[in-house]
Structure 1
Amino acid sequence: MTTQRTEPSVTAGERAMLEGWLDYHRETLALKCAGLDDDRLRTASVRPSELSLMGLVRHMAEVERIWFRKVLMADDQGPIYFSDEDRDGEFHLTEQDTWEEAHSTWQAEIAVARRNAARFALDEVGKGVHRRSGQSPSLRWIFTHMIEEYARHNGHADLLRERIDGAVGY
């Protein structure tokens, strides 16, 4: 798998800027995972944490699904990896969990996110509601939140990758 990252435009309009930064952060997470086998992608940070690169990718598949399906479209497909019994299921990996499955699920959720977002103007509010506020956020808010979500977890990914093989940067 070849992974590249596109620098966001410094002069784009607002929507293109938000989409560009979100894609940049999606690509950054993919870069942090590039070239590692399943065992290394399942490697947890430090005990007692179960945080791993594969777990982060599975988490971001869930996050993409929640915000761009459930909140934006009011299309609750249910969770992919977690459940009411295991709220952090995306991070609870077994030997049967593979990068191929996690990556393809994540990419499928990103594709749906892009299609759903394309149907809305930035100021348009979603059809679903934010579970904490009970409000329907605008697409602009969702884009901004997703950039924040990826940026935070890409910081985790930086530390995980450095622990795994010493790779830093990008």
Structure 2
Amino acid sequence: MADERTLLEGFLDWQRAVLVGKCTGLTGEELAQRSAPPSTLSLLGLLRHVTDVEREWFHARFRGTPVPFLYRRDDAKDAAFDEADPAGAEADYDRLLKQWQSSRVSVATAALDDAFEDQLRGPMSLRAVYLHLIQEYARHNGHADILRQRIDGEIG
């Protein structure tokens, strides 16, 4: 039992932890293993992708703070996946953890009903951002389950 804000933050943190858990104990090379050609989906790519997603939704969209993507570019929208380099896995992981903290700080004083105008969706609240991020992580955690099982048979 908790208030809505605590529940939303808790579910998002749980989804974040699930993704990191799927990556725990793997080498950079294992994290960068791709699922199946022609897909460039990998656990490392997922870590990089959600780092940009957090920046986009909590900072750029909700706060209106211009922050550049760390991986995605206009000329390479899938660079988070396509350019995932095993040698950079530790740095990419550290960026994600720092981004989580930055995301938390960014919205700490905002109310769930605080809103912004999204170019594609119209008015959106912070509540909707939390729900969007929860579903984003949940969807990718399904991918991560399959990727991890393919790497070393680990399930659950």
Task: Provide the TM-score with structure 1 as the length reference.
Answer: 0.88
Alignment partner of 2:115: what SS? coil
Q: Greater relative contact order: 1 or 2 (C-alpha under 8 angstroms, separation 6 or more)?
A: 2
1:95 is displaced (CA, Å) by: 4.1
Distance 1:72 1:118 in 2: 12
Distance 2:28 2:39 in 1: 18
Task: Find 1:153's aligned residue among 125, 135, 140.
Answer: 140
Aligned length: 156
1:55 is displaced (CA, Å) by: 0.2
1:104 is displaced (CA, Å) by: 1.1
- Which residue number corresponds to residue 34 of structure 1? 24
1:132 equivalent in alignment to 2:120: yes
- Which residue number corresponds to residue 114 of structure 1? 104
Correspondence list, 1:29-68, <5 A: 29-68=19-58
- Structure 2: which 5+ residue stretches go unaligned? none
- Which string of whole-angstrom CA distances, capped at 9 and with x for unpartnered residues, describes residues 9-61 of structure 1? xx111110000000000000000000000000000001110000000000000
Q: 1:136 to 1:108 in 2, by over 3 A?
A: farther
Seq. identity, %: 40
Distance 2:102 2:144 in 1: 24
1:98 equivalent in alignment to 2:85: no
1:79 equivalent in alignment to 2:66: no
Which residue identity lines up with residue 155 of structure 2 in the other structure? V
Q: Which moves more between the two structures, 60-69 or 108-117?
A: 108-117
Cα RMSD (Å): 1.2
Q: Please say if residues 29 and 154 of structure 1, whose CA atoms lie closer than 8 Å, have aligned partners that are also in contact.
A: yes
Distance 1:67 1:97 in 2: 28
Distance 1:112 1:12 in 2: 24
Task: Provide the TM-score with structure 2 as the length reference.
Answer: 0.95
Pick the structure with more strand per residue: 2
- Which string of whole-angstrom CA distances, capped at 9 and with x for unpartnered residues, describes residues 81-127 of structure 1? 1111101110013546422111111111111110011120011113x
Q: 1:92 to 1:34 in 2, by over 3 A?
A: same
Q: Please say if residues 59 and 103 of structure 2, whose CA atoms lie closer than 8 Å, have aligned partners that are also in contact.
A: yes
1:136 is displaced (CA, Å) by: 3.7
- Structure 1: which 5+ residue stretches go unaligned? 1-10
Which residue identity lines up with residue 44 of structure 2 in the other structure? M
